[in-house]
Structure formats: C-alpha cells, structure tokens
Amino acid sequence: MLGVFRRKAASCASSAWVYGRVDKLKPAVSALRASSAVSEEITHYTRQFYNVRMICHVPLAGRMMTLLPKRELVGCLQHDASVQIWSRSFSSNDGDVFEAVVPFMGESITDGTLATFLKKPGDRVEVDEPIAQIETDKVTIDVNSPEAGVIKEFIAKEGDTVEPGTKVAIISRSGEGATHVAPSDAKTSTKTSSPPAEEKKEKPAPKVEKAPIVEKPKGSPPPPPPKPSAAEPQLPPKDRERRVPMTRLRKRVATRLKDSQNTFALLTTFNEVDMTNLMKLRSDYKDTFVEKHGVKLGLMSGFVKAAISALQKQPIVNAVIDGDDIIYRDYVDISIAVGTPKGLVVPVLRNAEAMNFAEVEKEINNLAKKANDGSISIDEMAGGTFTISNGGVYGSLLSTPIINPPQSAILGMHSIVNRPMVVGGNIVSRPMMYIALTYDHRLIDGREAVFFLRRIKDVVEDPRRLLLDV
C-alpha cells in the first residue's frame, strides 16, 4: 500500500502546471484527471506567486488523500488573506452539472443589471453560446455557457444586480433534470384534469348549512362624486401613464452630461460650410473609391480630416485641464458619437492623424456596427481627445452640443440644406451646413475657437488644402 501511495504521489508531483495570467494558475490535464480519479479541480487565484500552494489529491482505497499534512494545509490557506480557492465538481453524484457565472466586466465596472435571458430552461446550449445579457453603465456583456449542455434552471432573475462571479444558471451536460416547458395541448390538459374530477365525485363535499339571508333596508343611492370646478387643474389619469426604470447606460449618460454642465464653462460658436466641393469630390470618385478600398466614401471622413488639421493648428483645443495644469496631447484620438437603441455611445478612432480617408471610413463603419449590435468593448470607447457629433443624420438644422468629459471641445455637424447664397455677386443655390463648436471657455478663448471652426470651414470647402497643407 505504501508503494502505491508513493507512485501516485510521484505521478501527481510530476504533473505540469500552466502559467497563464499573473494572478491565475491552472493545473494542466493529467492522467489522474483523465481516469476520473480526481474529484476536484482546484484553481488558485493569487496576486503573488509566492503565496501559491500546490495541493495534490491522491486516490487511495476509494477516498481522496491530501499529500500536504493537515497542519500545513490549514496554515497554507490561512497564510495570506488574498489567496482564494475556487473549485467546481467534475465527477461526483452531480458530476454532469456545471454553472454559468457572470464574467469579468472591465477594470472600472464592479456590477451590472441582468437585463434579459436569451435562453429558457430546457434549451440546448453550445460552448461559449450566450445565455443572458448583463447591462452595465457602459456596455452590454454576454454571459456564455462554459460547456455544451441543457439549461437546468436559472439562479438569478431579470433585473437583479450581479457582480463578476455571480452564478446565473445551472447547466446539465446530459440534460437530465432540466425543466422543460409543458406543451399547451388540449388533450393533455383534459387528461390531467380528469382524475381530480373523479376524486371529487367519489368524495362528496360536506354539507354546509346556509345562514339565513338578511335583506338590508333599501336606502337612498350614494350621492355622485363632486365635479371639479373649472379652476382646479385637470390631471391625466394614472392608468394612462407608464413608469419604466432607466437603463444603466442612460443613467451614465445623464450623469456625465450633467457633470459637464456643472464643471465646464460651456460656450458655443457657429459657422456655415458650403458643401459643394466636398460633395462633388465624393460624387466623382465614389465608384473608384469603393472598387479600390471596399468601402463607400462618405462626408464624415472629410470632416474628420478637417478636424485633425484644425486640432494640429490649434493644439489648445486638443488639450485638457488637469487640476492646476494643462495637458497637451501630441496625438489625435477622435471620438465619434453614435446613437444606438440603448443610448449614446462614443467609440474612438485611435491615432486618427495617421489615417487616410479609406482607413477613417473603414474604422467608423466597424465601430458603428459594433455599437449598434452591442458588441463594442470598453477599450474601444475609452479616452478620446475631441468629439464629433453628426446630428444632421437625424435632420437637425442647428444645435449646441455638450462636451464629452474630460475633453475640452466638441464639433456638431448638421443637415445639408440648399439655401440662396451670394457667390461672385450672384445669388445661387448652394448646399449649406451649419457647424457648431462647443468649448470649455476656462481653457479655450474665443479667438482660438473661431480660428478652429474657420479652419474646418476652409478645408471642407476646398479639400485641396489638405494635399498642399495650406
């Protein structure tokens, strides 16, 4: 018996260990696990390597024996409060059951709201298939099934506040014990309801003596409710109102916009742009552009390139106040405001100053698609030095956009409308667009703001300036 114990100990000690993240160690698959001898897979979570204790279980006469003495094992687990051991069963009486938990949601996100379930108990799920969605104040995160199986039951409920590691569902590999929704069949309902009816016939109900009915004296009808006077306000009935809780994303947007108003000295300046040349440029080269780059040439790329040029000529607009200091950025990350069914998100074009027209169009289309289907990540929305908001796609003629903190300015684009303009002494019809720049007046003076907006106007009206850098 001692020889068997030594051989098993040597086999366990020789098992390989895979080092992944700094804070996670996971044992590699060994012969012990392949033979279903090990009943637990123990994963150690620690912030420091010297806190890790390697514990090996060895089967002996149908029981699990720990190679580490009990006194050392207790001391090992109590050595550092940062050491946490999470385990899940692999082979036991319920060995085919596993759990789906809330994943890590980001460095700055501690919890979220369980918005909806994408599956029902009894449904079959595959590996990494989403079964629920968690709504945070920034993005929507999927809860995926770690393995293939059948959903047995849901532990959490829609609307619950959940944290990373919270159990959401119990899934069975074999599908046994899963709760299926009973089919709505008329014959089935008749069969199931007939036995109780027969039992009722066999057991007659006890007789209950009825109390004599005493007739109440007929009195005068109640007086009608008093009619409100003409001076009283007529409030709408409550049954015609609906109260819906705000989503986390909408709460976050509301908080940031209000913080922007409370923090910044907001001031907006306006100008108008003749879109004739930029629209003609797009019309002349749209087919060639699509053929070469595989993406349509839009107006947004022209405004992004114009904004980059203006930011480089007026670097104070690309700067930000940090306490008593001013931080100047020698790079340009353009945030593009995108309206989605769940709220406003602002993905970022990284190092936009190094992009050409085609790269700008591709990245905008990619980020907009992710934003609309809810697959955009937090990293793709973090940062940004300047924001462009295009309210013109919704038909807005003029607006005063609000700064996206902690940036210092935002450009507002609007709809293109043909208006009579004086060109060369003649009145002609021109496609015109109003543009607006809202800026933090604590940092940016009116002079810089006007020059910035003027530069955008010059570049959009004559895109050849970008080629000549004039």
Bigger pLDDT: 219 vs 175: 175
Q: Are 121 and 155 in contact (CB under 8 A)?
A: no
Share of the chain above pLDDT 70, in %: 67
Predicted pLDDT at 310: 97
Please tell me the predicted confidence (pLDDT) of residue 415: 96
Structure tokens at 33: 């696990």
Cis bond upstream, residue 341 (ω within 30): no
CA distance linking residue 137 with residue 252, whole number of Å: 5
**Percentage with pLDDT > 90 across the chain:** 39
* Complete edge-to-edge strand list for the sheet that includes strand 167-172: 97-101, 167-172, 149-154, 124-125
Q: Look up residue 9 and give its amino acid.
A: A
301-361-141 Cα angle (round to 5): 120
84-89 and 40-45: which strand pairing? Answer: antiparallel
Q: Of 178-182, 221-225, 278-282, where does the model show the most confidence?
A: 278-282
Query: What domains appear along the chain, each with residue ranges and CATH number?
Result: 1-95 (no CATH), 96-180 (2.40.50.100), 248-468 (3.30.559.10)
Q: Name the active-site residue from 293, 441, 458, 462.
A: 441
In what order do the strands lie in the sheet containing 17-19? 17-19, 24-27, 40-45, 84-89
Mean pLDDT, rounded, of the chain: 76
Compute, in degrees rounded to 10, the torsion defined by CA atoms 55, 56, 60, 63. Answer: 60
So what's the pLDDT on residue 257? 85
Supply the pLDDT for residue 5: 42
In 3D, which of 119, 162, 140, 109 has the Cα closest to residue 342?
140
Residue 283: its H or E element: helix 276-293
pLDDT for position 134: 87
> Is 414 tagged catalytic?
no
Question: Does 445 qualify as catalytic in the annotation?
Answer: yes
Give the largest Cα separation in the chain, rounded.
108
What distance in Å separates the CA atoms of residue 200 and residue 470, rounded to the nearest whole number?
Answer: 96
Instruction: Describe the strand order of the beta sheet including 112-117 as a list of residue ranges.
Output: 140-144, 130-135, 112-117, 161-162
* Region class of 268: left (phi > 0), else alpha (psi between -120 and 50), else beta: beta
Per-residue pLDDT tens digits for 65-88: 444 444 444 444 444 433 333 333
Q: What is the pLDDT of residues 382-436, one digit of tens each?
A: 889 999 999 999 999 999 999 998 999 999 999 999 999 999 899 999 999 999 9
- Predicted local distance difference test score (pLDDT) of residue 52: 39
Strand partners, 440: 266
Q: pLDDT band at 249, cuts 50/70/90? A: confident
Give the Cα separation of 415 and 396 in Å (integer): 6
Q: How far, in Å, CA of 85 to CA of 40, rounded? A: 11
pLDDT for res 313: 96
What pLDDT score was predicted for residue 289? 95
User: In which region does residue 343 sit, left (phi positive, over 0), alpha (psi from -120 to 50) or beta (all else)?
Assistant: left
Of the residues 259, 284, 373, 445, which is catalytic?
Answer: 445
Per-residue pLDDT at 215 = 56
